[in-house]
Chains A and B, each alone.
Chain A
Amino acid sequence: DVKVTQSSRYLVKRTGEKVFLECVQDMDHENMFWYRQDPGLGLRLIYFSYDVKMKEKGDIPEGYSVSREKKERFSLILESASTNQTSMYLCASSVSGGAGDTQYFGPGTRLTVL
C-alpha cells in the first residue's frame, strides 16, 4: 500500500516566518508534487519534481521553493510566509511514465499564516 506522509496536519505561523512542509513517500516513486487546495479554485500545482534534485515550476510557484535531496522526500519552503498563503497543502507522488499512472496523495497540511 502506497504511503505518502506529511510532517504536520495543522500548522500556524506568523507573517514573515520561514516555513518548511515535508513530504515522504515509501514507494520509490520518481514523481512528487506539491499542490494548494482552495475552495472554488480546486488543486493548483505549485512545484513538481521528476527526479532527485530536479524540479519544475507549476502554475503558482511565486513565494515558494522546493527541495528534493532524496528520492523519497520532497520539501516545500515558504521563504517568508504571507497571509495569502493560508491554505491546505497537498503532497502527491506517482511512478514515472506509462499510461494512466495514479497520483497518491498525502493527508494534507492546513497552514494558517497570521
Chain B
Amino acid sequence: AQRVTQPEKLLSVFKGAPVELKCNYSYSGSPELFWYVQYSRQRLQLLLRHISRESIKGFTADLNKGETSFHLKKPFAQEEDSAMYYCALRGVSNTGKLIFGQGTTLQVKP
C-alpha cells in the first residue's frame, strides 16, 4: 500500500538552529516525492520536489530509497519558516494523484 508517514506533529526549534522534518514513505515502485508548505493564512503551495534537486528558501530534501525517506532539512531556521509542512508521494500514473502525510507544524522561536 502507498503511504506517507510524518512522525512528528510538532517540531519546535529556536531561530538559527538546524531543522529536519522527517518523512517516510511506503511504495513498491519509483515514487516522486514532494514537500508542500502552508504558511499562516495562506494557501498550500509546493515547496520542492525531489526530481529537481533544488534548494528552496534554504531547504533541501534528499530521496533515500534504501531508508524510504525524504527528510526536509535546513541548516539555520528562520522565524518565517514557521508553517505546516506536508510530505507527498506520487506513484506512476497520469492522474497526478498525490498521497499526503499527516503534516508537521514547524514552530521557530525567536
Which A residues have a C-beta under 8 Å from some C-beta of B?
4, 31, 33, 35, 40-45, 48, 50, 56, 58, 90, 92, 94-97, 99-108
Contacts and interface: CB of A to CB of B under 8 A. Distances in A.
B49 A100 contact: yes
Given A41-B102, A92-B44, 15 more contacts: A4-B43, A42-B102, A43-B44, A43-B100, A45-B98, A94-B96, A95-B96, A96-B94, A96-B95, A99-B32, A100-B34, A102-B49, A103-B98, A104-B45, A105-B45
Given A42-B102, A99-B32, A100-B32, A50 B94 contact: yes
Interface of B: 6, 9, 32, 34, 36, 43-46, 49, 51-52, 86, 94-103
A41 B49 CA distance: 22
Contacts of A106: 43
Nearest to A44: B100
Candidate in B44, B46, B99 with the most chain A CB atoms within 10 angstroms: B44
Contacts of A99: 32, 51
